[in-house]
Structure 1
Amino acid sequence: MTKIETASTDAGEARITWHTAPGARLVLALGHGAGGGVEARDLAALAAGLPARGVTVALVEQPWRVAGKKVAPAPKTLDAGWRGLWPALAAPGLPVVAGGRSAGARVACRTGAELGAAAVLALAFPLHPPGRPERSRAAELLATGLPTLVVQGGGDPFGRPEEFPDTGAYELVGIAHGDHGFAVPKRAPVDQDATVGRIVEAVGDWLDGLR
C-alpha cells in the first residue's frame, strides 16, 4: 500500500511517500540527494522490493524539493527538515532505520543517534568531492554510534569502496561498476537490473540481521 503524507518542519513542508508492508517489523526512512529526488533508481528499487520482506519504506522529500527549488540548502537546514519530520516516521511505533543517498546519507549519519534511529543506511555516501580526496567527510560516517551499512558504487567519483577507512565502525557493500547513482556502463559484465537487484538484496539481508 502506498500513501503520501505531508509534515511541517522548521525548514518548510516535507513530504513522505509510504510504501507499507503488511505486518511490518521496521521502517526504513530514505532521504534523497542534493541533485535529485526520491525517484532515484536505488530509492525506488528499495521502496518496491523491501515491503515483501516486512520492511515499510518511507521515501522522504526535503522541504526544498517540495517547494520546487533547484539547489539544496546548507547541511544544517537539511538536518532541521529531517528532525522535523522524524515524529511522523516514528508514528507507526516501529523501529526506524535512518537512511538516504548522497546528501541524504550524510543527514542520516549526522542525526541518527540523537533521533533514536535503530541503525543508519548510507547509499552512495559522498566521502569527498570528486577529485578532492583530502576533503574527507569520513568523520560523519564514523560518528553515527549505530549499526551502519554503506552501499557504494565501485566507480563512484565521490569515493570508491577501497577509499573508505577500514575501522570496523560500519559495514560496506561495494556495487561493481556503479557510479554515484549506481548506473553501470553498457559494456559492464553486469546489467542495470542485476545491479539494482544486488542493492535491494544487500540492504534486505542487512536489515534482517538487525532483528
Structure 2
Amino acid sequence: MRIDTSAGPAEVEIDDVLGPSLLVVLTHGAGGGVDARDLLTVRDLAVRCGAAVARVVQPYRVRGARAPGPAEKQDAAWLELVAALRERYGPVPLVQGGRSNGARVACRTATAAGARGVLALSFPLHPPGKPERSRRAELLAAAAAEVVVINGGSDPFGVPEAGDVAELHVIAGQPHSFRRGFDEIEKVVEPWLRRWSAR
C-alpha cells in the first residue's frame, strides 16, 4: 500500500494477522531496502507472535534518492505514516524499529509516535572514524520507550553504551550489515516481542 506524507508517498509492505495484539513498524537503512535479512527475521518473528507488521519504504527511497535528507523532514513523514497505520489497527501497542538510519528515525520519533518499544538494528552511533560526532542523544530521545539495540561487534559506526538502552546485544565479529547471527537476533527479539504482544 502507499501512504501519502508531507515528504511524498511511502510504500508499505503489510503482513497481517487476524486480530493483531501488536503493531510492529520497521524501516530500512539509508541506502537499503525492507528485504534486508535482519528485517525479514524480525518480521517473521513478529507475525508468529501475533503482530501485524508494516515494512516501510520511506518517501526519499520511493523517489529514488539514496540519502534521507533533513532529519526533521524524515521524522515528520514517519510520524504521518505511523499515524495512518495506527488508525488502521486501532489501540494495540506500537513497536517501531529499523536498521541503521531507520533505527535512528525510530528512536528520534518514539515519544511522539507513542511507541512502547523500539528495536534498533545496527544503530550507527557515529560516522565511521568520527566518534566525536556521537548520535547518543538520538538513543536517549527514545527513553520513554523500551529500547533494544542489536549491533555487530565490528561495526565501524560504533556500538552504543549498555547503560543508554534497556537491552544491548552485540553479535561478535559482525560488521554494520549482518552476514550471520540471525539466530542470535531471533533469541533476543522473540521473547521481547512476546512480552509486548501479551500486554
Q: Do both share a fold (TM > 0.5)?
A: yes
For 1:87 and 1:143, the matched residues in 2 are separated by: 19
Q: Which residue of 1 aligns with 2:69?
A: 73
Aligned ranges 1:21-40 → 2 under 5 Å: 21-40=17-36
How far the C-alpha of 1:89 sits from its partner, in A, is: 2.0
Count how many residue pairs are aligned between Structure 1 and Structure 2. Answer: 194
The residue number in structure 2 matching 1:137 is 135
How far the C-alpha of 1:70 sits from its partner, in A, is: 2.9
Provide the aligned C-alpha RMSD in A.
1.6
Q: Tell me: CA distance 1:136–1:168, structure 2 relative to 1, closer, same or farther (3 Å).
A: closer
Aligned to 2:188: 202
User: Secondary structure of 1:56's partner?
Assistant: strand
Deviates more, 1:198-207 or 1:145-154: 198-207
Shift of residue 121 of structure 1? 1.1
TM-score normalized with structure 1 length: 0.85
Alpha-carbon offset, residue 168 of structure 1: 5.4
Give matches, 1:129-168, under 5 Å: 129-144=127-142, 145-160=144-159, 164-167=160-163
Instruction: Specify the SS of the correspondent of 1:81.
Output: helix
Shift of 1:177: 1.9
Scaled by the length of structure 2, the TM-score of the pair is: 0.90
Q: Which has the larger displacement, 166-175 or 148-157?
A: 166-175
Which residue, 96, 100, 103 being the options, matches 2:101? 103
Greater RCO (Cα-Cα under 8 Å, separation 6 or more): 2
- Deviations, residues 28-50 of structure 1 (Å, cap 9, x unaligned): 10111112111211112222333
Counterpart AA for 1:154? G
Per the alignment, in what secondary structure is the counterpart of residue 209 of structure 1?
helix
Q: CA deviation at 1:209?
A: 2.7
In the alignment, what sits opposite 1:58? 54
Q: Is residue 177 of structure 1 aligned with residue 176 of structure 2?
A: no
Q: Take 1:50 and 1:169, find their aligned partners in 2: how far apart are those partners?
A: 21
Task: Say whether the 8 Å CA contact 1:21–1:52 is kept in structure 2.
Answer: no
Partner Cα distance (1:168, 1:105) in 2 = 15
**Which sits farther off after the overlay, 121-130 or 62-71?**
62-71
Q: Which consecutive unaligned segments of at least 5 residues does structure 1 have?
A: 184-191
Q: 1:67 to 1:168 in 2, by over 3 A?
A: closer
Partner of 2:41: 45
Which residue in the other structure is 1:86 paired with?
82
Deviation, 1:196, is 1.2
